[in-house]
């Protein structure tokens, strides 16, 4: 799958700060400690509808991780998937009497445009589930022969399930108790009541072909992959075990990230799958989580068509902390637009107050679990001073522009 266009990231004067990030599995803010190449996997979209502001906010959070690592001199190996075959996509295509392949391709194309417009740095590997089927089949076959997976007791559709406790570490990502796991499993794509399973929490690895559904021939028989194994295999085969960061929204903590880790750890006997699990809060609208199923969506492409400046959108989505559930409102956008105008005016001046302290504060706040509200306020303070005419450093506007571009991804 083709990724989207990149753009150069300027160097920022001064001293970088290593990134500390909240880790869901340990419940604390810990240093990320990548080697020369930082390895990050962020779960991609299921392309049955356009990118909404919730998706965008989540990808922006991990874009900042990417940028802080680059600032620290790391190469970043970033991998993202596209769930280009799964029940929601097939259901939407059936509802609209359209072809699921065409629907997926259209939404993926739009997503790429949205990401490029928002200046999200692209992944090095951007992979669809469909193109990854051979490697997924290989992994499922291994789990089956190791006795960690089994065929459902159903002569008609002997789907393959993962024995949830096969890694011996099930629960180590989410730390949820059993009732919470059962609730989320049922709500988020699981099938606890499927007859023929050995345990309600066992997760689907391979769905045997049904009439009217797409399927692929394989040594497992014709069928299609389950969801968690898709990300588990794509990540593992590009980044290896123990990669630096697995990311997504909080709705992916369980079952998705718990199972992606459990599959990989069972398969390899190694731990951990990822050294950090980071999750972005949910963006809501009118008091509810923005979601395709609720239909309360604001699309990035709609705002683009309405000529909203994508840099203002970026600033608006970054004005709240990534871990907070937060609401999108017209006021958030209006404030971001006003902020962008001020920053542009301040950096368009020939000189301004010395930028060193501001850039240090910007780095400090970002390295502290991506504290964007504080980071934006640090730049506000510089812009206010500059606009009030204080300071005559002729390098400062250029340096602030470079820092805001490189670290926040905002082009002034």
Q: Can you give the binding site for ligand 5CA, defined by CB under 6 A? A: 43-46, 54-55, 57-58, 81, 83, 231, 248-249, 251-252, 280, 282-283, 289-291
Residue 251 contact, options ligand 5CA, Zn ion, none, Cβ 5-8 Å cut-off depending on partner type: ligand 5CA
Closest distance of CB 297 from ligand 5CA, Å: 9
Which of 365, 400, 399, 395 shows the shortest CA–CA distance to 379?
A: 400
Binder of residue 280, out of ligand 5CA, Zn ion, none (CB less than 5 to 8 A by kind)? ligand 5CA
Write the burial class of residue 136 (CB in 10 Å: 0-12 exposed, 13-18 middle, 19+ buried).
buried
For the bound state, the minimum distance from the C-beta of residue 231 to Zn ion, rounded and expressed in Å, comes to 3
User: What does the block give as tokens for 193?
Assistant: 């009541």
Residue whose CB is less far from Zn ion, 55 or 401: 55
- The reply on whether position 264 binds Zn ion by CB under 5 A is no
Least distance in angstroms from the C-beta of 290 to ligand 5CA: 4
Q: How far is the CB of 285 from ligand 5CA (least distance, A)?
A: 8
Rounded Cα distance between 55 and 291, Å, is 9
Q: Output 253 or 379, the one with its CB closest to Zn ion.
A: 253
Least distance (Å) between residue 257 CB and ligand 5CA: 9
The answer to whether the bond into 19 is cis (omega within 30° of 0) is no
38 φ/ψ angles, rounded to the nearest 5 degrees: -85, 140
Quick one: what does residue 54 bind among ligand 5CA, Zn ion, none, with the CB cut-off 5 to 8 Å set by partner type? ligand 5CA
CB-count burial class (<10 Å; 0-12, 13-18, 19+) for 258: buried
CA distance 70 to 17: 11
Comparing CB distances to ligand 5CA, the nearer of 290 and 340 is 290
Query: Which residues have a Cβ under 8 Å from the Cβ of 385 and sit 6 or more positions away?
Result: 352, 353, 391
Q: Half-sphere exposure (CA, 13 Å, Cβ side) for 320?
A: 22
- CA 379, 384, 388, 390 torsion-angle sign: negative
User: For the purposes of burial, counting CB atoms within 10 Å of the CB of 195, is it exposed (0-12), middle (13-18) or buried (19 or more)?
Assistant: exposed
Q: Which of 313, 292, 398, 276 is nearest to 347 (CA)?
A: 398
Name the residue with the smallest CB distance to Zn ion. Answer: 43
Nearer to Zn ion, 226 or 320 (CB): 226
Under DSSP, the state recorded for 75 is E
Nearest to ligand 5CA of 25, 58 (CB atom): 58
Residue 367's binding partner, choosing from Zn ion, ligand 5CA, none, with beta-carbon cut-off 5 to 8 A by kind? none
* 231 is a site residue for Zn ion (CB under 5 A): yes
Nearer to Zn ion, 137 or 378 (CB): 137
For residues 319 and 335, what is the distance between their CA atoms, to the nearest angstrom? 9
Classify residue 390 as left (phi > 0), alpha (psi -120 to 50) or beta. beta
CB of 153 to ligand 5CA, least distance (A): 28
Minimum CB separation of residue 282 from ligand 5CA in Å reads 4
State in angstroms the smallest separation of the CB of 118 from ligand 5CA: 14
- Residues 23-52 within binding reach of Zn ion (CB under 5 A): 43
Mark the segment that binds Zn ion (CB under 5 A) among 31-39, 128-136, 189-197, 225-233: 225-233
Closest of 67, 126, 81 to residue 248, by C-alpha = 81
Segment lying near Zn ion (by CB under 5 A), choices 146-154, 183-191, 228-236, 360-368: 228-236
Which partner, ligand 5CA, Zn ion, none, binds residue 366 by CB below 5 to 8 Å per kind? none
**Contact partner, 201, from ligand 5CA, Zn ion, none, Cβ < 5-8 Å per class:** none
Rounded to a whole number of angstroms, the minimum distance from the CB of residue 382 to Zn ion is 39
Helix or strand or coil: residue 249?
Answer: strand
Name the residue nearer to ligand 5CA (CB basis): 69 or 254: 254
If you search the block for the tokens 């002729």, which residue do you land on? 394
Report the nearest approach of ligand 5CA to the CB of residue 48 (Å).
Answer: 8
Which of the listed partners (Zn ion, ligand 5CA, none) does 249 bind, with a CB threshold of 5 to 8 Å by partner kind? ligand 5CA
- The 3-state secondary structure of 10-58 reads CCCCCCCCCCEEEECCCCEEEECCCCCEEEEEECCCCCCCCCEHHHHHH
Which residues would be at the binding site for Zn ion (CB under 5 A)? 43, 231
């Amino acid at each position: 799958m083709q990724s989207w266009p990149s753009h150069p990231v300027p160097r920022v004067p001064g001293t970088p700060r290593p990134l500390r990030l909240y880790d869901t599995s340990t419940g604390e803010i810990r240093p990320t400690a990548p080697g020369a190449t930082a390895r990050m996997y962020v779960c991609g979209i299921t392309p049955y509808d356009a990118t909404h502001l919730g998706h965008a906010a989540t990808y922006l959070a991990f874009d900042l991780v990417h940028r802080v690592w680059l600032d620290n001199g790391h190469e970043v190996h970033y991998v993202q998937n596209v769930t280009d075959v799964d029940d929601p996509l097939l259901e939407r295509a059936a509802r609209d009497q359209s072809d699921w392949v065409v629907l997926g391709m259209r939404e993926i194309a739009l997503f790429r445009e949205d990401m490029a417009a928002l200046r999200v740095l692209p992944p090095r590997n951007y992979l669809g589930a469909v193109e990854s089927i051979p490697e997924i089949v290989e992994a499922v076959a291994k789990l089956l022969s190791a006795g960690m997976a089994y065929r459902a007791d159903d002569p008609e559709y002997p789907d393959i399930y993962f024995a949830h406790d096969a890694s011996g570490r099930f629960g180590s990502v989410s730390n949820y108790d059993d009732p919470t796991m059962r609730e989320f499993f049922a709500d988020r794509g699981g099938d606890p009541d499927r007859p023929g399973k050995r345990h309600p929490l066992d997760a689907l690895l391979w769905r045997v072909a049904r009439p009217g559904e797409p399927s692929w021939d394989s040594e497992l028989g014709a069928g299609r992959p389950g969801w968690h194994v898709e990300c588990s295999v794509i990540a593992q085969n590009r980044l290896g075990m123990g990669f630096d960061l697995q990311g997504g929204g909080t709705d992916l903590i369980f079952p998705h990230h718990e199972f992606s880790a459990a599959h990989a750890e069972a398969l390899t006997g190694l731990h951990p799958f990822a050294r950090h699990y980071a999750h972005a809060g949910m963006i809501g609208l009118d008091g509810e989580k923005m979601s395709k199923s609720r239909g309360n969506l604001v699309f990035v492409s709609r705002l683009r068509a309405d000529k909203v400046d994508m840099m203002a959108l970026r600033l608006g989505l970054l004005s709240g902390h990534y871990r907070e559930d937060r609401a999108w409102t017209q006021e958030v956008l209006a404030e971001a637009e006003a902020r962008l105008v001020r920053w542009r005016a301040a950096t368009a001046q020939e000189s301004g107050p010395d930028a060193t302290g501001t850039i240090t504060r910007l780095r400090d706040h970002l390295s502290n679990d991506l504290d964007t509200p504080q980071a934006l306020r640090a730049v506000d303070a510089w812009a206010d001073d500059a606009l009030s005419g204080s300071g005559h450093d002729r390098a400062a506007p250029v340096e602030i522009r470079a820092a805001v571009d490189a670290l926040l991804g905002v082009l002034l």
